[in-house]
Chains A and B, each alone.
Chain A
Amino acid sequence: MNMHSSEAATAEEAIAAQEALPPLDNDAATAVAMQNTLLTPRFYTTDFDEMDAIDVTPVRDEWDALIAQMKSDPNKGHFKKTADWDADWENMDPALKAEFIDFLISSCTAEFSGCVLYKEMKRRGSNTDITTLFQLMARDEARHAGFINDALREAGIAVNLGFLTQQKKYTYFRPKFIYYATYLSEKIGYARYITIFRHLEEHPDKRFHPIFKWFREWCNDEFSHGEAFALLLRTDPKLTQGRMNRLWIKFFLTAVYGTMWVRDHQRPEFHKALGVDPAWYGQEVYRKTSEISKQVFPMTLDIDHPRWRKGLDRLQDASVQVARAKKRGGVGGMVSRIGGMTKATLAFVSLYAIPAIPNETPVSSRMEPAY
């Protein structure tokens, strides 16, 4: 087997290692007698010329330091199973198991989608600052996905990569939206993982699966990816200034926070087992994410506003109505579904209309994971 990119000393070696993969050996590829889950990542295209034109000169020192840190690959040895890995799927309550597997599959899909996106950026770009960054991030995401995949295999779930031979539609993302969305997804990912990790440090009896023990170092990867996007956003102040950009950033924040709320409330058993109230968890994650995002975003959402929690609850109720109506089907189901979607839209508009808290971004954005 060739050298794996995680063993490479330099990014150039890592790139070479990924490109010099072993010759194909399709004969050994066999269908596995496991429950199959088809990964369905999205495929993106963007304005690659615009992305290539980024000049990191204004943030050169911080940029070089961050890239050097990522190249040194502090987590190279972290994603290994040790004696601490004491998974016990057999004695897990079936309802909890179902929700936990769902959690792992969505995590795996997100890491995988990130990997596909970053690899595409790396491949299409010619600006070496940018391509090096994307290569390093693709390395981390592929590693995380592999780690989750292994945890799923222990539960008898095999991921199916058959999507490659299915028809895939390429959607479009403006470069600056890639920065907003990936910045936010990496930082909120950090906040989510570290909040669970710290909670389980205090309540080790609630740690029902060993993967949580790996969350701290894991989310440090997410944190540094977020740092890189923060620097990209700071190469050009126009990216985060102006009325339209503010509206878009607020939209991304509201959509991401709202989706997280709804999605977490769909996993009651998972949160019960962790001993976490999803509402508390949501607010805690928003608080951390908002605090961190002050490094680049011109505002934070007012999550203590009296209408905030009400709006989230309305969004949640509407999503329950839509899910039920979908199950019910027929004309009645359709009517109820449209009603639910209207309620969800109104709840979203109400959340979006809450005045944001303006923020003056600092001169230097560089942060270290502190939670």
Chain B
Amino acid sequence: MGFFTRTRETAPCTVEISHRFEELSAHVRLNNGAVIHPGDTVQVQGPEIMAAYGEVIRVDRTATITRASGLEQIWTRWTGDFEFMELCEFSFSEEVLS
């Protein structure tokens, strides 16, 4: 990791989506033990994964991890705490209606 430069790597991952009445959840698990640090971004490759209502889906994909530069990591450590509001039900959501 450079102080100003980002690096990229890929990791096998498993995406799980539960789109059911009893449970709505979605998770990405990296399967090679890669650890995500503050400021890193993760993108699951391939087409959008859709689970129809009532379904549970588990898909193996590849994820691209873009490692934050040293500067970005410090910045995220300093400022990340301010994003806590998301956990409140009355937070300003950025939902996009299409």
Contacts and interface: CB of A to CB of B under 8 A. Distances in A.
Interface string A294-327: 0000000000000000000000000000000000
Contact of B97 (A36, A42, A44, A173): A36
B85 A259 contact: yes
Contact of B38 (A5, A110, A172): A172
Given A29-B51, A143-B22, A165-B46, A192 B89 contact: yes
A263 B41 contact: no
Nearest to B58: A24
A274 interface: no
A298 to B, nearest CB: 19
Given A40-B93, A263-B90, A21 B56 contact: yes
A165 B16 CA distance: 12
A158 B98 CA distance: 10
B88 A105 contact: no
A207 B17 CA distance: 33
A26 to B, nearest CB: 6
Contact of B25 (A31, A109, A142, A178): A142
Consensus secondary structure, chain A interface: helix
Interface string B28-58: 1100000011111111111111111101111
A323 B29 CA distance: 38
Contacts of B94: 40
Given A24-B57, A28-B55, A119 B17 contact: no
A110 B89 contact: yes
Interface stretch (A125-133, A145-153, A341-349, A350-358): A145-153
A107 B89 contact: yes
A363 interface: no
A113 B87 contact: yes
Interface in B48-98: 48-53, 55-59, 66, 76-77, 80-81, 83-98
Contacts of A31: 50
Contact of B85 (A6, A105, A115, A256): A256
A110 B86 contact: yes
A28 B52 contact: yes
A171 B38 contact: yes
Contact of B42 (A36, A40, A168, A174): A168
Contacts of B26: 112, 116, 161, 163-164
B9 interface: no
Contact of B93 (A24, A109, A189): A109
Contacts of B21: 146-147, 149-150
Contacts, number: 211
B55 A25 contact: yes
B43 A119 contact: no
A340 interface: no
Contacts of B23: 4-6, 142-143, 145-146
Contacts of B56: 1, 21-22
Given A177-B81, A185-B87, A189-B89, A138 B48 contact: no
A155 interface: no
A70 interface: no
A20 to B, nearest CB: 10
Contacts of B97: 35-37
A332 interface: no
Nearest to A28: B52
A45 B43 contact: no
A260 interface: yes
Given A138-B25, A172-B39, A260 B51 contact: no
A280 interface: no
Given A24-B58, A149-B24, A192-B90, A165 B48 contact: yes
A21 B90 CA distance: 32
Which are the 3 A-B pairs with shortest beta-carbon distances? A172-B38, A172-B80, A181-B84
18 contacts: A6-B22, A29-B55, A37-B97, A38-B95, A40-B95, A109-B93, A111-B24, A161-B17, A165-B46, A165-B49, A168-B43, A171-B76, A172-B77, A177-B84, A189-B89, A259-B85, A259-B90, A260-B88
Interface of A: 1, 4-6, 21-26, 28-32, 35-45, 79, 102, 105-117, 119-120, 123, 138, 141-143, 145-150, 153, 158-174, 177-178, 181-182, 185, 188-189, 192, 252, 255-256, 259-260, 263-264
